[in-house]
Chain A
C-alpha cells in the first residue's frame, strides 16, 4: 500500500519535467562516460606540447573547458526561462515552476562557474606562474561569477515574497544579459591575453585521442547538468507540495 503510494507520488513529480530524458538508463550511461573521461584524461590522452610539467598540466582541459562552457550555457538557459516567466500569462499554472527552472539554471551555472574559475586558476598558476593574471578569460569568468552571485543575492533578499522574487529576479537576469553579452565578444578584444583557446579550436593541433576524451567530457558534463537540474526541480516540487500541505 505504502509503496504504491510512493510510486504514484514519484510518477507525478517526474512527469512534469520537460526534459525528454526519462528513466535511469542514461544516468548509468553518463556514469560510464564520466569514468571513461577520468581514465582517458590520464591514460588515453598523450602529453601535450607547450605546457609545463611535461605537458601533463594540459590534462586539466578535460574538466575545465566543459565547466566553463556550461557556466555560460546555464546563464542563457536561466534567461530563457526568465523571459518566458515575464512574457507569458501571469495566471498560468506553471508560472512558479518556470521561475524555479530559471533559478535552478542560475544556481548550477554559479556552481560550474566556481569550478571553471578554480580549475582555470590552478592552470594559470602552474603554467604562467601566477594564479591570477588579469587575462580576459579570467576577468570574464570572475564577472560572470559576480553576476550569478548578485542574482542569488537578490533572490535571497526576496525570500518571503515568491511572486515578487520571481518577477524581480527575472528582470535582473535580463538586465544582466547586457554586460554578459559583452563578455562573449567585446572583452577578449579589449585586453590582450594568453589563454590557449586557439590550441583547442585549431583542428591540426589536437590529437585524435584528445578529441575523443574532450568530446566525451562535454557529453558527460552536459548529461550531469541535466541530471542535476532534474534532481533540483524534483526537490523544488516536493518542497512546494510539503508547504502546500502544511499551509
Chain B
C-alpha cells in the first residue's frame, strides 16, 4: 500500500497480555513505535516474542489490553490492519504444491494487486530467487523459502514490517538482502515502521530501540 508523505501512521500496544489457559505468557506490555523507527523485541526462548508479533499483526487476539494502529488518524480493526503490514515468521508457510511464481501471483490477486510478468521477475530478483520462479516451493531449500517469505511480505509494499527471526536459515547474501529491506523501509517517504523479534547480537544493533519481553515478574 503506497502512502503519501503526509500519511500519519502509528502503532501502539497498550497493556497487552496473553495467556494460554491459566499459563500467562506475558502481561502489561506497552509501547509505541514512531514512523521511521526500527524496534527490536527481545526476550528469552518461550517469553512470547512470536506471540507478541502475532498479536501486533492481528493474527491473534490479545487476552488483555489492546493494539491500536492508526492510518491517517483512523483506527484500524485487527482484520484491516493486515493490509498495511508485511509479516515474515517461522510459522508462515507458502504452498509447497505451487511454484514460487504461482504463490506470489495467487497472494497478489487475493490482495487485489495486479502483478505483471516484469513485476514478478523484479520481486523474485529482489530476494535473490531470479530464475527459480518456476520451481515448486516443495523443492526449495529452507533458505530459499525464507527468501520467498520476504517476496510475499513485500507484495503490497506495506508501511509496517513485522519480522520474526528475520535471518533464520539465511546465508550471507540473504542477510545482506534483509539489511537492504530494512534500510529501504527506513528510506520510505512516509516513514515505515519495522519491528524485529530476535536474540541475534548482530540484529540487535539494527534497531533504534528495544522492547524486552519476559514472563518472569
Chain B neighbourhood of A162, CB < 8 A: 20-21
Tell me the nearest residue of chain A to B19, going by C-beta: A163
Give A244 to B63 CA distance when docked, in angstroms: 16
Is the beta-carbon distance between A247 and B22 smaller than 8 angstroms? yes
Is the beta-carbon distance between B22 and A243 smaller than 8 angstroms? yes
Give A90 to B20 CA distance when docked, in angstroms: 14
Is the beta-carbon distance between B63 and A161 smaller than 8 angstroms? no
Instruction: Tell which of A91, A160, A163, A240 touches B64, judged by Cβ atoms closer than 8 Å.
Output: A91
B181 part of interface (Cβ distance < 8 Å): no
Is the beta-carbon distance between A240 and B22 smaller than 8 angstroms? yes
Is the beta-carbon distance between B20 and A161 smaller than 8 angstroms? yes
Chain B neighbourhood of A161, CB < 8 A: 20-21
Q: Is the interface of B mostly helix, strand, loop or mixed?
A: loop
B129 part of interface (Cβ distance < 8 Å): no
B121 part of interface (Cβ distance < 8 Å): no
Give A139 to B62 CA distance when docked, in angstroms: 44
Give A162 to B21 CA distance when docked, in angstroms: 5
Tell me the nearest residue of chain A to B64, going by C-beta: A91
Which residue, of A161, A163, A243, has the highest number of chain B Cβ atoms within 10 A? A163
| CB interface residues, A 214-247, toward B, < 8 Å | 240, 243-244, 247
Per CB-CB distance, the 8 closest pairs between chain A and chain B, nearest first, are A162-B21, A247-B22, A243-B22, A244-B22, A90-B61, A247-B23, A91-B64, A91-B63
List residues of chain A with CB under 8 Å of any chain B CB. Answer: 90-91, 160-163, 240, 243-244, 247
| Beyond A243-B22, A247-B23, 15 extra complex contacts between A and B, CB < 8 Å | A90-B61, A91-B62, A91-B63, A91-B64, A160-B21, A161-B20, A161-B21, A162-B20, A162-B21, A163-B20, A163-B21, A240-B22, A243-B21, A244-B22, A247-B22
